Amino acid sequence: MYRRSRPRATPGAVSDTNFRAIVQAEQGDAVTVRLAIDLDPRGRVRRGSSGMEEAGFVGAEHRFHEAEAAAEWAERFTPTAPRVRLFEAMVEQLRAAPAVAATGRVVELGVGPGYLAERVLEGLPAAVRYVAVDFSEPFEAIARRRLARFGDRVTFVRADLLSGSDWTDAVGSEPVGACVSTWALHDLGGPDATRKVYRDCAELLAASGGGVLLNGDFVKPEGTAYRFEPGRFAVARHLEMLREVGFGRCECLETFETEIEHPTPAQNYALLLAAWR
Ligand SMILES: C[S@@+](CC[C@H](N)C(=O)[O-])C[C@H]1O[C@@H](n2cnc3c(N)ncnc32)[C@H](O)[C@@H]1O
């Protein structure tokens, strides 16, 4: 109904050189009001021109337990160049992590179709074993096919990350050098759920004598006017939570496919690292 504002007005600002002003009020992470006002060429408000502008929403539908939906996701989300760059950055960190060499065990949270798992298993020495956690039978079936060539290096654990200590219990008591995840934790539903899983990882790694958590996940980029699903929130909030659950070193190593003007649900992800020192 409305044209896109040109230039993109900052929240609360009025543009007098173009024909559209956007006034926006924000509360926390949510855009609550976005008012569009048309201006005439001299910067005067056109009569009857103001109205609510539809602020976009970024999120995705979650049908993890349906075979067709899992297959569609795997087909749609193949490893493009920036996604491969994320995997490579994670493998580089894992290769450099003393705890991975010492324990020889990496756990993935939300293995999905196994794209990250495949890269990690290829990139690390054959002595490193991989525990692939997921609560979805159809996703696990796809990952089993993709990872079959790695044989008994991979163990599959079917568990819900949000169900108490189910998943950490199932991972077992052998030490773990790293927890990794890509594009999964935002699916848990929001910051409280993410914090719970960050805490589980901190406890699991601490019980193993240290280690590293690498989470490559969708975030809400700074400066966007769009609303994002609750599981996609700012990098700063992730880092705050990681500190809260006990990690000493918490960093955002890189951001990928940043797009604030017209974000799609497949863009805006970051690589977060948490370790003890
Ligand atoms: C987008 S896929 C992950 C992609 C995968 N990391 C890769 O690189 O191929 C997200 C996965 O998280 C899993 N997942 C979502 N919520 C979960 C939960 N509460 N417990 C366990 N797994 C969950 C889904 O079943 C799905 O397989």
Mean pLDDT in each 10-residue stretch from start to end of the chain (277 residues)? 35 40 42 51 60 70 94 96 98 98 98 98 98 98 98 98 97 97 98 98 95 98 96 98 98 98 96 93
Query: Each residue of 190-212: b (16+ CB within 10 Å) or e?
Result: ebebbbbbbebbbebbeebebbb
Ligand 1 proximal residues by C-beta, below 6 Å: 64, 110-116, 134-136, 139, 160-162, 182-184, 187-188
CA 115 to ligand 1: nearest atom: 9
Distance 97 CA to ligand 1 centre (A): 24
Helices (H), the chain: 67-76, 81-96, 98-103, 115-123, 137-147, 166-171, 191-207, 235-244
Distance 13 CA to ligand 1 centre (A): 40
Residue spans of the domains in the chain: they are: 1-55, 67-275
Distance between CA atoms of 218 and 181, rounded to whole angstroms?
A: 11
Residue nearest to atom 22 of ligand 1 (CA): 134
Distance 110 CA to ligand 1 centre (A): 3
Contact in structure between 143 and 112 (CB atoms under 8 Å) = yes
pLDDT of residue 258: 98
| Backbone phi and psi for residue 220, each to the nearest 5 degrees, phi listed first | -90, 120
**CATH 3.40.50.150 corresponds to the domain 67-275:** yes
Read off the tokens for 149: 């060539």
